[in-house]
Amino acid sequence: MKKNKQWVWVISVLLVLSAALIALLNRYTIYDWYVLRSYTPDAQIMALASNSGMNNNGASIFYAHQPRVTNQEEFNAVCTVGEETIVLGCYTGYDFNTDTDIFIYNVEKTELNGVKEVTAAHEMLHAAYDRLSQSERKRVDAMTMAMVQKISNPRIKKLIEGYQERDPASVPNELHSIIGTEIANVDPDLEAYYDQYFSNRQKVVALSEQYESVFETAKNDAQRILGELALRKSEITKLESNIESDYNALSDSRQRLDRLKAANDIEGYNNAVPDYNQLVNAYNQEVAEVKQLIDEYNALVSSYNQKIGQQQELVNSIDSKYQPVN
């Protein structure tokens, strides 16, 4: 009888341990079920998931953290971890004490449409990374690190280098999100892995490239105008040098005419007048040309300042720390 009681106790303990193990292995499924049974994403959140190409699994992970598009004050209060680039969103991790774990900064500039979708997918992938087992995380990390050598985008390479310098431990997690949302062509095994979360990953990559191109275009336009300014400056300097030489030649010709007139050399004076008039015409033409170039130069300066202002507006619109000066 005593032995039977011992076996009952052992079996009970094993059942409890088994239940605990099952719960541990399925904790994210249980967590998602618990949250999603009482959470309904609003239209904006659903659009972010759909427009970024998430599949049902990716969207479920996204919704399970009750994401919120938020204003500057709340975003800065919650998203306090520094980033290598301007922060657009943050994932605060699994926290049963709070409802929202994913915050997305409300970028309102229409030129940057798509940035919220990319941010949503980026943060969803952070949450997905949290769910990986040690063995799976090791496998995924190996695939993302292999991709680093194949990345040619200077901005992304610089971004990764910044994370490596500041916090090497964060690199695998960041790579998992950066590559998943910003790199179009990845190795087949890695693409198959991302298929767990996206029905069409190229949608979010296209959005990423779209809003990155806005900054690149603004930068390139400013650089082009700088090149034109340098060219106009060179032309102005050359013309001004020619004008100075022609002015000296004109002065010498004028003095020669005065000497011929003083000597009452009418024939010599009349013969020299056409050369003098030709010098005057050339001088006046060069003066008009340099005036036109100066007007063009000033217009380019105004255009450059406008482009720089527009570029700064774009930067400010995605900078949660920016405060306008009244």
For 74-108, the pLDDT digits (tens) are 888 888 765 555 458 889 877 655 677 899 999 88
For the question of whether the overall pTM of this predicted structure is more than 0.85, the answer is no
Q: What is the structure's pLDDT at 141?
A: 97
Q: What is the DSSP-derived secondary structure letter of residue 103?
A: E
Rounded-to-integer distance, Cα 320 and Cα 71, Å: 9
Half-sphere CA count of 188, side-chain side, radius 13 A: 0
pLDDT (mean) for 223-241: 87
Contacts by residues 291-297 (CB-CB < 8 Å, ≥ 24 positions apart): 293/232, 293/235, 293/236, 293/239, 294/236, 296/232, 297/229, 297/232, 297/233, 297/236
Backbone angles phi, psi at 187, to 5 degrees: -60, 150
Q: What is the structure's pLDDT at 318?
A: 61
Answer whether residue 1 shows pLDDT above 70.
no
When the pLDDT of each residue in the chain is averaged and rounded to a whole number, the result is 82
